[in-house]
Structure 1
């Protein structure tokens, strides 16, 4: 059975620096390939709660397990770094995860992405920074010095890694420039900005869209201060030694999902399916990590 994947920021950085995640468990934990009867799937915490994510992504992962004739053992990670550790250490066969978590486990263990999510038909999305309503951010980030800001945990791309990279490119150390907090759940970041508890927060566009459409927040409760260029979506990653026949069948199943099938499988909007992909689409994430000294 899959374990609960929780990892501290310090541990995530230790695994990144030393590349030891793949040896965190005995080699016997990595031995399952041919002949296995259970597909062990780890899912990153995409939605506001683990139960939300469990409910939303179980039909999709059951579809994948059925496509390879296996039973499903699915676990939702407690944080974004944890799902990277799960796939790197062999506790999971495949994982649905974000771009930075993938870059970490690719560097640490040779895990490979094989299908990328599409949002409204495109395999890209945008990282965003949202601001408290009523504040003037016309010269952002110059006019935001000293304000409070919340980042996600260190395994997340949109809510942690990308904004660290972007502020670095502006010559800003966010830990000293702002009243800085990290390790906050992305949905909590969004609600905290919308309710006026904090001034700024780092999330991503599809999460904001989902929270508006499900009534958790309103569109006029905050402002979008910054939006990135299109970035590669997250997707499905397999452990380095997973049987290639299994990977091929899973990739075929994911590529068969169109917008209609995505709704049947309860995949949260605006996600519309998956496209076949490889690490070449994620080298931009590697470069960002190297710029920050994290890869």
Structure 2
């Protein structure tokens, strides 16, 4: 009887030990499986996080990939200054997305979108190669090329003429006031009134109107009661509409947009001569074969892909097309140095 009991106890201990061993073995296998899964998925999360980060040192906003999700293709940055900063980040990115997707497919790469916080930001990013392709106004292009002579003009943007009968390679700047201001009918009436420019590096928002005013003997800082630099064209027309300033400088594209926003409430006090249109430029870090393809295919883009953009097409123009801009920039630079 005792032997039977001992035998039974021994059997129970054996079963208990076996079950415990199996349990330990199972936990070890489970732990190995969990560890293996973690090893496999953690790099994926790290890669996804790194992919969305802008290049080191980049002072940029509005950063979002707009190209096809083919990660085997090289990725390049396309940038613009904040000339229409009245629009939201998503609006601006959305407007450029069709063009950039199409262009990426045509030349065999991907483009993401970067918008500079200021004109100066984008000039520096282009000069330093933080963006490889950019749409710049005439003055920002000239200044960027002064900083880095290797910057190349690829194309000049085209726009419809006022009658929409043909595409042209120039635009006009204006000094606008409200139609309801019956006391403001010429430049003399602006003396002692607040005035708004866009930026020192804006072509139609400062450089051209400033040069024309000075030719007429008007020194803005002395002539107007206060001079504001508001950072973008929509902010200028918004300020005029609100009565915050008596007048301001802008370009035809923004004036047309301002009419849709505020109504036909503006009148012209000064119109500039034709200004060479905006540019598409490249940094030398963009491979030469890609730049050559862009220069070749972009003029053939369907205008439907440019809806909402300042451009209605693209054409090849030589660099000396912007020599008049260089003269204005140099004159303003010397004036600033002699202050």
Summarize the alignment of residues 209-248 of structure 1 with structure 2, pairs less than 5 Å apart. 209-212=256-259, 215-219=260-264, 221-248=265-292
Q: Is the 8 A contact 1:81 1:154 kept in 2?
A: no
SS of the residue 1:292 aligns to: helix
Question: Which residue of structure 2 aligns with residue 57 of structure 1?
Answer: 96
Q: Which moved more, 1:164-173 or 1:114-123?
A: 164-173
Select the residue among 68, 72, 77 that pairs with 2:107. 68
What TM-score do you get using the length of structure 1 for normalisation? Answer: 0.81
Q: Is the 8 A contact 2:82 2:231 kept in 1?
A: no
Deviations 1:198-252, CA, capped at 9 Å, x for gaps: 100111011111232xx31111x22121111111111201114533211110111
Q: How far is the alpha carbon of 1:269 from its aligned partner?
A: 5.7
SS of the residue 1:229 aligns to: coil
Report the Cα distance in structure 1 between the residues aligned to 2:221 and 2:313, rounded to whole angstroms: 37
Q: Is the 8 A contact 2:78 2:114 kept in 1?
A: yes
| Alpha carbons of structure 1 residues 228 and 87: separation in structure 2 relative to 1, 3 Å | same
Q: Is the 8 A contact 1:210 1:269 kept in 2?
A: no
Summarize the alignment of residues 7-156 of structure 1 with structure 2, pairs less than 5 Å apart. 37-47=74-84, 48-51=86-89, 52-110=91-149, 111-120=151-160, 121-133=167-179, 134-138=181-185, 140-156=186-202
Deviations 1:40-66, CA, capped at 9 Å, x for gaps: 111222432242322211221222222
Q: Is the 8 A contact 2:73 2:110 kept in 1?
A: no
Question: Which residue of structure 2 aligns with residue 4 of structure 1?
Answer: 59
SS of the residue 2:261 aligns to: coil
SS of the residue 1:216 aligns to: helix
Q: Is the 8 A contact 2:205 2:249 kept in 1?
A: yes
Deviations 1:237-275, CA, capped at 9 Å, x for gaps: 111453321111011121112xxx122x14326631111
Question: Which residue of structure 2 aligns with residue 188 of structure 1?
Answer: 235
Tell which has more relative contact order, 1 or 2 (C-alpha 8 A, sep 6+): 1
Moved over 6 A (4+): none
Q: How far is the alpha carbon of 1:189 from its aligned partner?
A: 0.9
Q: Is the 8 A contact 2:142 2:325 kept in 1?
A: yes
RMSD: 2.1
Deviations 1:163-208, CA, capped at 9 Å, x for gaps: 2222222222201211211134210110221232210011101111
Report the Cα distance in structure 1 between the residues aligned to 2:202 and 2:115, rounded to whole angstroms: 15
For structure 2, the 5+ residue unaligned runs are 1-53, 62-71, 161-166
For structure 1, the 5+ residue unaligned runs are 7-34
| Alpha carbons of structure 1 residues 269 and 84: separation in structure 2 relative to 1, 3 Å | closer
Q: Is the 8 A contact 1:154 1:183 kept in 2?
A: no
Report the Cα distance in structure 1 between the residues aligned to 2:222 and 2:126, rounded to whole angstroms: 34
